[in-house]
A and B are shown apart, each in its own frame.
Chain A
Amino acid sequence: MIASTSPSMRLPALVSNRRAVFGLVLVGLAVFGAILAPFLTPYTPDTPDFAALLTPPSAAHPLGTDDLGRDLLTRILYGARVSLSVGLFSVLSALAVGALLGSMAGYAGGWADAVIMRAMDVIFAFPSILLALAITAVLGPSLGNAILAIAVVNLPVFARIARAQTLVVRGLDYVEAKRAMGFGPANILIRTILPNIAAPLIVQGSLLFAMAIITESYLSFLGLGAQPPTATWGNMLRNSIAFLDLAPWMAWFSGAAIFVTVLGFNLLGDALRDLFDPRNT
C-alpha cells in the first residue's frame, strides 16, 4: 500500500480497496434501512397482528412474522436504529472522554497521569461484557444505560492510545513553540495536541463500533438493553429461542442483521487501520 501523509490522499486508496468498499456497502445498507425505515415498509414495528402469528417468509412478510404477528423485516429495520445509535453514541462519548483523559494524563504526567491511568487499568481489569452487564444491572435496564455502560468499558482503550500519542507529540517543536509563546495547557491540549492525535483514535473508534453493536445486542439478548416493545436485534433473537422449532426464521434474520452490520464495520475498520498504520508501507 502507498504511504501518504494527508487524509485527502488516502481517500482514493480507500475506495480502491475492495474490502473497504464491501464494508461501506454493508454499513450503508444498515444506515439506509435505519433512516428510511418508515418508507420501506407498510407495517409498524410494534403493532401485533393476531391473524398472522408466526407466518413463514411470504410475499406479504418477506422475512416472516414473530409470535405476535409483527413483521420481522419492519422490526429489523427499526432495530437498526437502536443498534446504530448505541454504537454511535457510546463510541463517540468514549472517544471524547477517553481522548481528553488520556491526553491530560500524557501531557501533565506525574500524579495526574498515575491516577487517571490506574483508574483505566481498573476498568480494563474486568472482561468488557461482564462490566457492561454489571453496570446496566445496577443502573437498571434501558437504552441510555446500555450506551453509558458500553462507553465506560471502551474508555480505557481510547485513553491509552491518546496518552501514548500525546507523549510523542508533547515534545515536538510546534508544541514547544506554543508553550514558548505563553499558551496555557488547556489551550495547547485542545487546540494543538488533540487534532494531532485524532487519526489513530478515529481508526480505533471504527473498530470499536463493531464491538459496541455486538455488546448492545448481548445486553438486549440478556434483557438488559432497550426494553420491549422496542425492537432491538438482541431482544428479537432472545424472543426467537422459545420458537426455534416452530419459527426458525425468527432466529435466522435477527442474528443475520447483527452479523452483516458488524461485518461491515469490521471490514471498514480493518481497511482504515491498514491505511493509517505506517507499518503497512
Chain B
Amino acid sequence: MREFLLLRVLSLVPVLFGTSLVVFFLARLIPGDPVVALLGMEATPEAIAALRARFALDSALPVQYVTWLGNILAGDFGRSIQTGRPVLPLLLGAFLPTLWLSLAATAVSLAIALPAGVVAATRRDTAADYGASFIALCGLSMPSFWLGVLLILTFSIHLPILPASGYVAPGEDPLAFARHLVLPAITLGTALAAAVMRMTRSTMLEVLDADFVRTARAKGLRRRTIVWRHAFGNAQIPIVTLLGVQFGQLLGGVVITETVFSWPGIGKLTVDAIFARDYPVVQGAVLLTATLFVLINLATDFVYTLIDPRLRLT
C-alpha cells in the first residue's frame, strides 16, 4: 500500500510538469507580443526591457520556460497589469472566499444527498425512489447560473430576505457572512448533491445485496443499525471517490457561481482578469486551481486508505 501511495505521488510529477507547460504556452499563444500582453499597452521602454530580461524572452523557449517556472516556484507570479500589485497576494486573498463557498456547498450537498440516496436505495422502486432519482437528474441538468438567478429572483427580489450578491468576511460579521453565503452555497451545492445522491443510491443498492448484510439481518439486528452502520459504512468508499472528483469540479463551478453572486473568490478573479486581459493574473489563477485540483485528487486516494482497513493492511 505504501508503494502504491508513493507511486501515486510520483505520478503527479509528470502531470504537474505538463500542467505548467500548458499554462506557460497558453500565455504564449496570445496573439501579439507577450511583453505587451503582460505589461499592457502603456508600458514604458524600461519596463519592457526589464521584463524581457527577467523572463529571458530573447532566449530559446526551453530557457524561457525554466526561467518562468523558477520565478513561480520562488513565489513570484509577476504583477497584475490592472493594479500593478504582485499576483500572489491577490490569489491568496481570493482563496479564502472560494474555500468557504466550496466547503459550504459540499455541506449543503451532503446534507441533502446522503439521506436522500440511502432512502432511495432502501425503498427501491417505490415512489420515493423514483421521485428522488428524478429530482437528482433534474439537479444534474440544472445550469448553475440559472438556479442562481432563480434564487436571486425569489429570495432577493420577490421576498427580499437574503442579499443577492457580495461578500462579508466571517471575522468581520459572522451573521452577514452567513447570509451572503446561503444562496451561492445552494447554487453550487445542487449539482454536487445530485451526483452524490445518485452514487449513494447505486452503492447502497449493491451493498444491501451483499452477504454480510443478509447475515446482519439473520442475526436480527435492528433495521437502522443494518442500513446505517453495516451498509452505509461500507458504501462510503465510492462516495468519497466521487466527492473528491466533484470537489475538484467544484473549483471550476465556482467560476460561474462567483460571477453570478459577485463573490470575490478565485473564480471571479479569473473571469475578471480574462476580460481585463490581465494575463499574469489569469496564468497564476489557472495554475493555482489546476494544482489544487491535482492535489485534491491525491488527497482522495489517501482518504480511501483511512476509510477502508483492507487497503491499509495490504
A248 within 8 Å of B (CB atoms): yes
**Residue in A closest to B140 when the chains form the complex, CB atoms:** A266
A85 within 8 Å of B (CB atoms): no
- Distance A275 CA – B18 CA, assembled complex (angstroms): 37
Tell me which residues from 38 to 83 in chain A have a Cβ below 8 Å from any Cβ of chain B: none
| Bitwise interface map of B from 249 to 261 toward A, beta carbon under 8 Å scored 1, else 0 | 1011101100110
| Bitwise interface map of B from 239 to 253 toward A, beta carbon under 8 Å scored 1, else 0 | 000000000110111
Query: Which of A128, A134, A218, A244 has a CB less than 8 Å from the CB of B153?
Result: A244
Question: Which residues of A sit under 8 angstroms from B153, Cβ to Cβ?
Answer: 244, 248, 251
Tell me which residues from 134 to 152 in chain A have a Cβ below 8 Å from any Cβ of chain B: 134-135, 137-140
Whether the pair A258, B143 counts as a contact (CB closer than 8 A) is yes
| Bitwise interface map of A from 232 to 273 toward B, beta carbon under 8 Å scored 1, else 0 | 000001001100110010011011101100110011001000
Whether the pair A126, B290 counts as a contact (CB closer than 8 A) is yes
Whether the pair B15, A129 counts as a contact (CB closer than 8 A) is no
- Distance A17 CA – B193 CA, assembled complex (angstroms): 25
Interface-facing stretch out of A2-10, A114-122, A180-188: A114-122
Whether the pair B141, A130 counts as a contact (CB closer than 8 A) is no
Whether the pair A259, B30 counts as a contact (CB closer than 8 A) is no
Whether the pair B150, A127 counts as a contact (CB closer than 8 A) is no
Contact A258/B146 with A122-B19, A244-B153 known, Cβ cut-off 8 Å: yes
- Distance A240 CA – B282 CA, assembled complex (angstroms): 27
Rounded to whole Å, the gap between the CB of A245 and the closest CB of chain B is 5
A200 within 8 Å of B (CB atoms): no
Rounded to whole Å, the gap between the CB of B240 and the closest CB of chain A is 19
Whether the pair B137, A266 counts as a contact (CB closer than 8 A) is yes
**Residue in A closest to B198 when the chains form the complex, CB atoms:** A270
**Residue in B closest to A23 when the chains form the complex, CB atoms:** B137
B293 within 8 Å of A (CB atoms): yes
Query: Which of A125, A139, A140, A240 has a CB less than 8 Å from the CB of B19?
Result: A125
Contact A251/B149 with A128-B249, A128-B252, A129-B253 known, Cβ cut-off 8 Å: yes
Question: Which residues of A sit under 8 angstroms from B14, Cβ to Cβ?
Answer: 118, 121
**Residue in B closest to A245 when the chains form the complex, CB atoms:** B157
Contact A138/B29 with A122-B19, A125-B290, A133-B255 known, Cβ cut-off 8 Å: yes
Whether the pair A129, B26 counts as a contact (CB closer than 8 A) is no
- Distance A221 CA – B16 CA, assembled complex (angstroms): 30
Question: Which residues of A sit under 8 angstroms from B256, Cβ to Cβ?
Answer: 129, 218, 221-222
Contact A270/B137 with A127-B289, A245-B157 known, Cβ cut-off 8 Å: yes
A154 within 8 Å of B (CB atoms): no
Question: Which residues of A sit under 8 angstroms from B143, Cβ to Cβ?
Answer: 214, 217-218, 237, 255, 258-259, 262
Whether the pair A129, B145 counts as a contact (CB closer than 8 A) is no
- Distance A256 CA – B142 CA, assembled complex (angstroms): 9
Whether the pair B252, A129 counts as a contact (CB closer than 8 A) is yes
Query: Which of B142, B149, B270, B289 has a CB less than 8 Å from the CB of A244?
Result: B149
- Distance A263 CA – B140 CA, assembled complex (angstroms): 8
Question: Which residues of A sit under 8 angstroms from B294, Cβ to Cβ?
Answer: 125
Question: Which residues of B sit under 8 angstroms from A119, Cβ to Cβ?
Answer: 18
Whether the pair A134, B253 counts as a contact (CB closer than 8 A) is no
Question: Which residues of B sit under 8 angstroms from A125, Cβ to Cβ?
Answer: 15-16, 18-19, 290, 293-294
Whether the pair B157, A244 counts as a contact (CB closer than 8 A) is yes
Q: How many residues of A contact B (CB 8 A)?
A: 43
Rounded to whole Å, the gap between the CB of B157 and the closest CB of chain A is 5
Rounded to whole Å, the gap between the CB of B286 and the closest CB of chain A is 5
- Distance A264 CA – B27 CA, assembled complex (angstroms): 38
Interface centre among A128, A222, A240 (most CB of B within 10 A): A222
A91 within 8 Å of B (CB atoms): no
A208 within 8 Å of B (CB atoms): no
Whether the pair B137, A244 counts as a contact (CB closer than 8 A) is no
B1 within 8 Å of A (CB atoms): no
- Distance A118 CA – B14 CA, assembled complex (angstroms): 7
- Distance A188 CA – B128 CA, assembled complex (angstroms): 50
- Distance A72 CA – B26 CA, assembled complex (angstroms): 37
B22 within 8 Å of A (CB atoms): yes
Question: Which residues of A sit under 8 angstroms from B146, Cβ to Cβ?
Answer: 237, 251, 254-256, 258-259
Tell me which residues from 146 to 183 in chain A have a Cβ below 8 Å from any Cβ of chain B: none
Question: Which residues of B sit under 8 angstroms from A240, Cβ to Cβ?
Answer: 149
**Residue in B closest to A22 when the chains form the complex, CB atoms:** B134
Question: Which residues of A sit under 8 angstroms from B249, Cβ to Cβ?
Answer: 127-128
**Residue in A closest to B260 when the chains form the complex, CB atoms:** A241
Whether the pair B141, A266 counts as a contact (CB closer than 8 A) is yes
Question: Which residues of A sit under 8 angstroms from B15, Cβ to Cβ?
Answer: 118, 121-122, 125
Contact A130/B290 with A122-B15, A125-B18, A214-B143 known, Cβ cut-off 8 Å: yes
Rounded to whole Å, the gap between the CB of A56 and the closest CB of chain B is 14
Whether the pair B29, A259 counts as a contact (CB closer than 8 A) is no
Question: Which residues of B sit under 8 angstroms from A118, Cβ to Cβ?
Answer: 14-15, 18
Question: Which residues of B sit under 8 angstroms from A237, Cβ to Cβ?
Answer: 143, 145-146, 149
Question: Which residues of A sit under 8 angstroms from B260, Cβ to Cβ?
Answer: 241
Write 8 A-B pairs (CB below 8 A) sorted by A numbering: A125-B15, A127-B251, A133-B270, A224-B274, A248-B157, A252-B150, A256-B146, A259-B141
For the complex with contacts A122-B18, A122-B21, A222-B256, 7 further pairs of A-B residues with Cβ separation under 8 Å are A127-B253, A133-B255, A218-B145, A222-B255, A251-B150, A256-B146, A259-B143
9 nearest A-B residue pairs (beta carbon)? A127-B252, A255-B146, A122-B18, A263-B141, A129-B252, A262-B141, A137-B274, A130-B252, A258-B143
